[in-house]
Amino acid sequence: MVEQLESGGLDLEAAVSLVERGTRLAAGCNQLVDNAELRVTRLRDELMFAAFPAGEKGVPEEITPEYITRQRLLLLTEQPPSAGQTTVMGWVPAGTPSMAVGTVEALKSAVASDVGMAILPEVAIDANMPNIILRPLRPPLIRTLALVEHRNKPDGPALQIVRRALLELAATSGGNGKPARKSIESAKPARASAKAGHAAR
């Protein structure tokens, strides 16, 4: 690749294409090196749910990717690129209209304010969401939570405490690849409250 560039026999378009390919290859090699320096421990899987404003009419009992194409989808973008965003966009059809929101709490607030609908992970769901309707997704959308550590990072007491707490939490809330039940159950009172609030209007 370097020899081709140094030969000078390439036109501008071919040279640019070759440089871009080299950049991609270098990035891939760097990623392999980074991954080799990481230790990944799977914690648990969690289901994701569709969230709508409480006043939304005609929301089906289960939400399909096709249904979401007709909605304004709000996406979580806490990190560029957000793992949650990638998971959601892999589930909905290509070209689904969307709008980025910075944090989970801002996402829930936007849904409650009728800005649009969102897909929330179990960890973000609690019973105190009276302005939001929750629905399961069909087919189910599941994401995996994991603990990622640098192998060369000192294993101090504080890190050991955090690691142990995360592993214990995973073991009591749906570890070993099983979605947590507590979060699923917490969706029920939120949904009932949302319906009651809509009926009062």
pLDDT tens profile 52-87: 999 999 999 999 999 999 999 998 775 445 567 788
Which one has a higher pLDDT value, 114 or 8? 114
Mean pLDDT of the chain: 78
User: pTM of the prediction?
Assistant: 0.62
Mean pLDDT of all residues in 160-178 = 77
pLDDT for 138: 95
Q: Is the pLDDT at 198 greater than 60, yes or no?
A: no
pLDDT for 148: 87
DSSP conformational letter for 62: S
User: Residues near 166 by Cβ (< 8 Å), separated by ≥ 6?
Assistant: 43, 147
pLDDT for 106: 92
Integer distance in angstroms from the first to the last C-alpha of the chain? 68
DSSP conformational letter for 124: G
pLDDT-derived band at 23, boundaries 50, 70, 90 = confident
The topology (CATH level 3) of 39-200 is D-Maltodextrin-Binding Protein; domain 2 (3.40.190)
The domain locations on the chain are 2-36, 39-200
115-131 pLDDT tens trace: 999 999 888 888 889 99
* CA pair distance 37, 3, nearest whole angstrom: 32
Q: Is the pLDDT at 192 greater than 50, yes or no?
A: no
Give percent of the chain with pLDDT exceeding 90. 32
Record the tokens describing residue 161, joined without a space: 């405490």
User: Residues near 51 by Cβ (< 8 Å), separated by ≥ 6?
Assistant: 108, 111, 117, 118, 119, 120, 132, 133, 134, 135
Q: Is the pLDDT at 6 greater than 70, yes or no?
A: no
